[in-house]
């Protein structure tokens, strides 16, 4: 039986992981490329889920655009947009998981005794969704011709990796606590001795 402190610790870890998920979507740094010209000026390109940034133009543009998705690039665009969908879906799952945390923590002893199953499943599902998105990016990085040597997986990819890892570990932590942590204190029998 899990205690309120177990859920509180799991909630803190979950909120940190959710912040990393959100940061990985917002920060356009899933894959990056750095180089220097002969004159010594630095060139920097980054791909985010929804933006592509360049130091040459000094701005970010929507990505992928329709012009990026013709011919052989359709496959790349479909995969990239799928990752965007998966990550946005993960945020929705995390929002639902947050509400489930509140219901379980505030719902009383019986809710805490039974709610671990739902929470663990929701955390695991959110982690698996993010892991799928991260894996697709890694696949594109390894196999798409546009990512020649010099490109690297960047900050947002690392944020996503840490986030789904923490989600899965938190689900395991909650599940293990059911069997390893003593049950919450209940009613004590009143002795009949006078």
What band does 105 get if pLDDT is binned at 50, 70 and 90?
very high
Element (H, E) at 152: strand 151-153
- Higher-confidence residue: 137 or 2? 137
End-to-end CA distance of the chain: 33
Give the separation between CA 1 and CA 8, rounded to whole angstroms.
14
The reported pLDDT for the residue numbered 7 is 93
| Reported pTM | 0.89
What band does 175 get if pLDDT is binned at 50, 70 and 90?
very high
Strands, sheet with 51-54, edge to edge from the N-terminal-most edge strand: 59-62, 51-54, 42-47, 31-36, 151-153
Cα→Cα distances 24→6, 49, 107, 134, 190, Å: 27, 9, 32, 10, 55
Give the separation between CA 180 and CA 172, rounded to whole angstroms.
12
- Higher-confidence residue: 38 or 136? 136
């Amino acid at each position: 039986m899990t205690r309120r402190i177990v859920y509180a610790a799991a909630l803190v870890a979950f909120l940190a992981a959710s912040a990393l998920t959100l940061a990985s979507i917002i920060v356009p740094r899933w894959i990056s490329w750095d180089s220097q010209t002969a004159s010594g000026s630095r060139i920097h390109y980054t791909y985010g889920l929804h933006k592509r940034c360049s130091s040459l133009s000094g701005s970010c543009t929507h990505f992928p655009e329709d012009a990026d998705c013709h011919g052989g690039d359709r496959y790349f665009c479909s995969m990239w947009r799928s990752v965007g969908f998966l990550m946005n879906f993960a945020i929705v799952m995390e929002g639902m998981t947050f509400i489930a945390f509140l219901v379980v923590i505030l719902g009383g002893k019986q809710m805490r005794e039974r709610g671990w199953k739902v929470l663990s499943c929701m955390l695991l599902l959110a982690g698996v969704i993010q892991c799928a998105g991260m894996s697709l990016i890694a696949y594109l990085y390894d196999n798409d011709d546009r990512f020649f040597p010099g490109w690297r997986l960047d900050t947002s990819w690392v944020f996503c990796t840490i986030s789904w890892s923490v989600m899965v570990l938190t689900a395991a932590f909650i599940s293990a606590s059911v069997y390893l942590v003593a049950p919450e204190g209940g009613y004590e029998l009143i002795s009949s001795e006078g």
